[in-house]
Amino acid sequence: MEYVQGQIVEPIENGNANAKSKYKNGDIEANKIISYSLIDHPITYVYKMKKLKEMYDKLIGMYEVKNLSQIISLRIQFCDIIMKKYESITTYFMRISQIRDQLLSIEEVICDRELV
């Protein structure tokens, strides 16, 4: 994870060859892990990138959404949700769970009091 977050820095050009080799091998291994874990679609955005940090930043930028209007919209949907006459309790709770999960995916936490 240190490679991904940029905590392990590439050694300078004139530095220790062993350290540089160790860094490069670690970067390649971490790169492989991300590459193999991606489905086909996202890989097209990152496969040409040389550095793991560039790959990670690109993927984070693609998937990290912290849009205020989206949060407000989901919160309104959550507050306005009511059980319909024809709806089973299972379906009703599934709709609540879907909105809650969407909010959690953008790091907006719903406390237990709001769920009740």
Residue 102 contacts residue 74 (beta carbons within 8 Å): yes
pLDDT tens track of the chain, all 116 residues?
Answer: 565 656 677 777 776 778 778 877 887 777 777 766 665 566 677 778 888 888 888 887 776 656 777 888 888 999 898 988 888 999 898 998 898 888 888 778 888 787 77
* CA nearest to 35, candidates 26, 43, 27, 25: 43
Give the whole-angstrom CA distance, residue 43 versus residue 55: 9
Alpha-helix residue ranges (DSSP H) falling in 1-116:
17-37, 40-46, 52-63, 68-80, 89-105, 112-115
**Residue tagged 């949700």 (tokens):** 81
pLDDT at residue number 2 = 63
Q: What is the pTM of this model?
A: 0.42
pLDDT at residue number 59 = 80
pLDDT at residue number 11 = 73
pLDDT at residue number 32 = 75
DSSP run (H or E) holding 6: none
pLDDT at residue number 37 = 64
